[in-house]
Structure 1
């Protein structure tokens, strides 16, 4: 009996030793000898992120902006909205483990100018839209973080603006006389103690790994007054058997660098005047949320001057609610993704 037990132990030990890779533990964790820190996309080339142990590592998605390498078949898209422009960064790991990155700027006006409506087509005159490769195949269900208030001391005001913004996109609210309703759906489920999945690593803020929660919150975003982003959106998607679907999305509103309002037309503190006055430059919560939810559902930023009045154009005019109602192109884009309902 003792001999049998000894034989079993020796066999297990021999098997364990035989499966160790040449080069020891370092070869297991970094078999492709990738450099430390944030990776450049060329570091992986056509190699598998799984085989190289790069899943979960940070990789430069463009302009020095780092994103976390997702699992095979998964993608993450990060949208940054500035007062007068936007940028988008994406990172995809295909089902073979190969990583691809992408970045795209949107129109950026000089910071000391207001987007000018004069001579530009109205929101109902343009049918422009651009689509992501993902959409939701089930309702987007999310929560707001406890203490997210913006502008007032009442979270109920923020939650009400969130619900209106969601309806703007899913019901296609517009002043163009169009039947705007589409097949997209979603719901605010209540509150959570969780923060949005935005992480601070290597001196920068970025989207974290999927955490199976969708959250809208407020917080600090990179940059100072008049230079920082107004809002960030991170959307996670997955591709299975050739079909890509969104599975999670978080939005963060910048409460540290900008002032906000729920009623830009009647807010006595809201005056879009020059020179810049941080206390008077207020942005409409509902307008910005509606634009960001456009990204969640799969709409891309527009950049042509002629599209200035559409919701998905990232020129956020101060002290107006112009992005609350969708333009013709915004409505058509949602219907192209989700069908007419």
Structure 2
């Protein structure tokens, strides 16, 4: 299978890497050692967004508490979470993907890891989905045997070119398919993690229209937003503590047109269930794989209009879920 006009981008760039992290590549200049253990002042930092470039100076001075302040890296941002927690923004653009993880240590020091957008590459010869055993674990997961209980925020859905029923059912199917490791390879084992749809909510996902993560309200919400005609296609935000995911929100950009997967696909539309399945992979702890070497994978950062093959996981992604959660 080949992909054209990729919506998720392609192969990750590795040239600037200095070390690996659980959620991406640690780029030179993008991570700073925590300041010596000490209690950060209670007074919050004043001002708007802070670039990741400003973290080095802040960690040296520690003149104010950074929790609640927005950190920006490229086109991606995240609100600094409470002490002892992390937030990871997976932001998918039409020309690639970016990731930003911001962690606040117990002593109040703040670190950030980033991964820049990777330009789309033409798909090369690669294994078929059932012979592809590649995967990328983010290093965070839900507690084994737990249930991811989530809500749907329907506002703005009508602008996606999908009916209300199509959008909700596709979101349900995408979430369920990842939670059970659904695949076309005859692999019947199901990971020991569950999901439950809890109904609609007036609360919007804690995802900014600029393609970043705002402060979590502790409620797991999937929904829609206006992230601009050239903005992200979709964003997933995971909040975690000590390797355990505690909340996960998803927002899809209604400024792109979507298809329900039935009949003839109108030119230029993206299969919404495939997009949602990719995002839900992040929700359950799957990271991106190389889009050039693994174009059939659901978690490749590449998909073309009218491509609905990403609705099911490949062999490697299925095994990754079993590795994380064990078997039911």
TM-score range, shorter chain: 0.7 to 0.9
Deviations 1:173-209 (A, max 9, x none): 1111222411121111110111111246xxx452111
Change (3 A) 1:170 1:66: closer
Change (3 A) 1:29 1:190: same
Partner residue of 2:99? 88
Residue 136 in structure 1 maps to residue 114 in structure 2: no
Partner residue of 2:289? 302
Partner residue of 1:185? 194
Partner residue of 1:333? 320
| 1:311/1:323 contact within 8 Å kept | yes
How far 1:324 moved relative to its partner? 0.5
| Matched residues, number | 282
Change (3 A) 1:304 1:219: closer
Please report the TM-score for the alignment, with normalisation by the length of structure 1. 0.76
Q: Distance in 2 between matches of 1:102 and 1:322?
A: 31
Partner residue of 2:240? 237
Residue 215 in structure 1 maps to residue 221 in structure 2: yes
Change (3 A) 1:303 1:124: same
Larger Rg: 1
Query: Which residue, out of 76, 83, 96, partners 2:87?
Result: 76
Higher relative contact order (CA 8 A, sep 6+): 2
Partner residue of 1:21? none
Q: Distance in 2 between matches of 1:255 and 1:142?
A: 20
| 2:90/2:235 contact within 8 Å kept | yes
Please report the TM-score for the alignment, with normalisation by the length of structure 2. 0.79
How far 1:87 moved relative to its partner? 1.3
Deviations 1:309-336 (A, max 9, x none): 1111011121021101110111011111
Q: Distance in 1 between matches of 2:56 and 2:247?
A: 28
Change (3 A) 1:119 1:75: same
Partner residue of 2:260? 262
How far 1:96 moved relative to its partner? 2.1
How far 1:210 moved relative to its partner? 1.5
**2:281 aligns to what SS in structure 1?**
helix
Structure 1 segments, 4+ long, off by >4 Å, are 149-153
| 1:149/1:157 contact within 8 Å kept | no
Partner residue of 1:122? 128
How far 1:216 moved relative to its partner? 0.9
Q: Distance in 2 between matches of 1:254 and 1:303?
A: 24
Deviations 1:190-243 (A, max 9, x none): 10111111246xxx4521112121111111114x3xx4321111111123xxxx
Partner residue of 2:38? none
Moved more, 82-91 or 93-102: 82-91
Residue 145 in structure 1 maps to residue 153 in structure 2: yes
Partner residue of 1:8? none
Partner residue of 2:67? 55
How far 1:298 moved relative to its partner? 0.7
How far 1:167 moved relative to its partner? 2.0
Q: Which runs of 5+ in 2 are unaligned?
A: 1-40
How far 1:75 moved relative to its partner? 0.8
Deviations 1:274-301 (A, max 9, x none): xxxxxx2000111011000000111111
Partner residue of 1:314? 301
Change (3 A) 1:166 1:199: closer
Q: Distance in 2 between matches of 1:165 and 1:131?
A: 19
**2:131 aligns to what SS in structure 1?**
coil
The RMSD of aligned alpha carbons is 2.3
| 2:139/2:285 contact within 8 Å kept | yes
Residue 324 in structure 1 maps to residue 295 in structure 2: no
